[in-house]
Structure 1
Amino acid sequence: MDIFSLAGLAAAMVVLALTPGPGVLATVATALSHGFRGTLSLIAGLVTGDICYLLFAVFGLSMVAEALGECFILIKLCAGAYLAYLGIRLLATRPDENARDSAPSTRRSYTSGLFITLANPKVILFYCGFLPAFMDLSALTPTGIGLTTLTVATVVASVLCGYALLASRARQAMTGRHAVSAVQKTAGGLMLAAGFKLATDVITE
């Protein structure tokens, strides 16, 4: 695998990662409500989901990945409901310091990120449809697979961390009670939007 293929893959991944979707909305909402560090386990779960679909595509299991996409309707609904629940809880919580600093467990946040990516039709389409047409996955050597996986993980994590950093900076800049309340309501609204996005994807399939 040459440097030009990796550069093309990285560029395609930047576009995919930058496109607003449930993962981006959840990342921004979590950063607004819990700060940058509170997003790391969520981002790790989101990246793991991308790697899972990449490996499905690399090892010729795209049919399995597509079947999983169809079978994950329940997971999509559960993930959407969970994000909506978090959004409602943020909207209903009083804007005090305890509310701002309390964060979901690392395991729960990681699992949420993983399920959000696995249930995202955009991700399934990219890895099982676009990527095999973009590059010859069957010709990848073990080193090529490792470099491809590293490229995907690095780009997705970097873009999501960028979103999280910007959102956390906005959170830090707002210290007054009314400002904190506005940030909290924004985070709650984004969580609701992410849950609605997942549910809409299920309905429109």
Structure 2
Amino acid sequence: MELQQSLSLLFTMLVLAIIPGPVVFAIISRSFSHGFIAAMQLFLGVLIADYIFICTALFGLSALANAMGPSFIVIKYVSAAYLCWLGFQLFQAQRQSNPMATGTKTSAYQNLMTGLMIGLSNPKAIIFYVGFFPAFVPLHTTLNDVILVMLISTLAFGSINLGYSLMATQAKKVFRSAKAIRVINRTAGSIMISAGILIAINL
């Protein structure tokens, strides 16, 4: 890839990452409810999904992705239902004995798989990688191109989502009362449910 193509791809991915969508909502919600580390574990799952899309697009498998249309629809609605269920759990969560504990504790594996499901069912990612992404990369790609694109994706989406997560985590620390924790739970739950709805209606 030429420098101009790389910079154009980086800029486009940065803009795409800044625009709020299911991934941003999920990361903010997880930061509120479970903290920074859990949010980064969720983002790692999203990043793995991005890598899958990148490899699919670069190696000319978009036709296979289109052929799997019904499967993508199933994944989308399962992911949407799962996010809404997680949001409902947070919305109904009671105050824990730890004044800064919110929601139900999740494992690294759960966070990773949640992120993977969100990433694979994210309509913006599917449209970008299958429809627009090929315009930024050469027709014949090499292993170096694949590595470079993955690095660009990690830098663009990682930096923006890191910022969103840090802001949400710092905002959470301001509120320590039982009432504030209840508000945080309900806010995080509502955001997670909204992310599920966004995926379901294909925004």
TM-score normalised to the size of structure 1? Answer: 0.91
Q: Does the 8 Å CA contact 2:122/2:199 hold for their aligned counterparts? A: yes
Which residue does 2:17 correspond to in 1? 17
Q: Does the 8 Å CA contact 1:26/1:194 hold for their aligned counterparts? A: yes
CA distances 1:73-131 after superposition (whole Å, capped 9, x unpaired): 22211111111111111111113355427431111211111111111221111111111
Q: Does the 8 Å CA contact 2:77/2:200 hold for their aligned counterparts? A: yes
CA offset at residue 18 of structure 1? 1.5
Q: Does the 8 Å CA contact 1:69/1:124 hold for their aligned counterparts? A: no
Which residue does 2:182 correspond to in 1? 181
Q: Does the 8 Å CA contact 1:79/1:115 hold for their aligned counterparts? A: yes
Which residue does 1:156 correspond to in 2? 157
For the residue of structure 2 that corresponds to 1:139, the secondary structure is: coil
Query: What is the RMSD of the two structures over their aligned residues, measured on CA atoms?
Result: 1.7
Instruction: Provide the C-alpha distance between the structure 2 equivalents of 1:157 and 1:68, rounded to a whole number of angstroms.
Output: 28
Which residue does 1:32 correspond to in 2? 32
Q: Which runs of 5+ in 1 are unaligned?
A: none
Which residue does 1:50 correspond to in 2? 50
Instruction: State percent identity of aligned pairs.
Output: 35
Instruction: Provide the C-alpha distance between the structure 2 equivalents of 1:24 and 1:97, rounded to a whole number of angstroms.
Output: 29
Q: Does the 8 Å CA contact 2:5/2:136 hold for their aligned counterparts? A: no
TM-score normalised to the size of structure 2? Answer: 0.92
Q: Does the 8 Å CA contact 2:93/2:104 hold for their aligned counterparts? A: no
Q: Which runs of 5+ in 2 are unaligned?
A: none
Please identify, of 40-49 and 114-123, the stretch whose mean Cα deviation from structure 2 is larger.
114-123
Instruction: Provide the C-alpha distance between the structure 2 equivalents of 1:143 and 1:82, rounded to a whole number of angstroms.
Output: 37
Query: Structure 1 residues 169, 71: closer, same or farther in 2, change over 3 A?
Result: same
Which residue does 1:124 correspond to in 2? 126
For the residue of structure 1 that corresponds to 2:149, the secondary structure is: helix
Q: Which has the higher helix share?
A: 1
